[in-house]
Structure 1
C-alpha cells in the first residue's frame, strides 16, 4: 500500500512539473471567438460610418431629394 502511495505521489509530482514547464502557444478557442466578434463589430462600425458619410454627401448634391 505504501508503494502505491509513493508511486501515485511521484506521478502527480511529475505531472505538475510538466504542466508548469509547458508553454502554451497560440490562442484558445474562446480567445478566437472574442477576436472574431470584435473584428466583426469594428467592421460594422466602419461600414456604418462610411454609409452615413456617403449618404450625407449625396444629400448635399444639387437635385438630390
Structure 2
C-alpha cells in the first residue's frame, strides 16, 4: 500500500522534472504547491487550523538538534 507521502512525493518529483524541461524554477513550483495546498485546506479545515500548521512549519524551518529526543 502506498503512503500519502510516497504518493505526493512521486507527483512532486514528476512536477519538478516537467518544470525543468519547461525552464520553470523549483522555487516557482514550490511556491505554487504551497498555494495549492492552502486552497485545498481551505475547503476542509478552519483558517485557524491552517494558520497553526503553517506557523509550525515556519517555526521548524531551521534544522535543530533536539538533544532531549535522543535515546
* TM-score (ref. length: structure 2): 0.31
Ranked by relative contact order (alpha carbons within 8 Å, sequence separation 6 or more), the top structure is 2
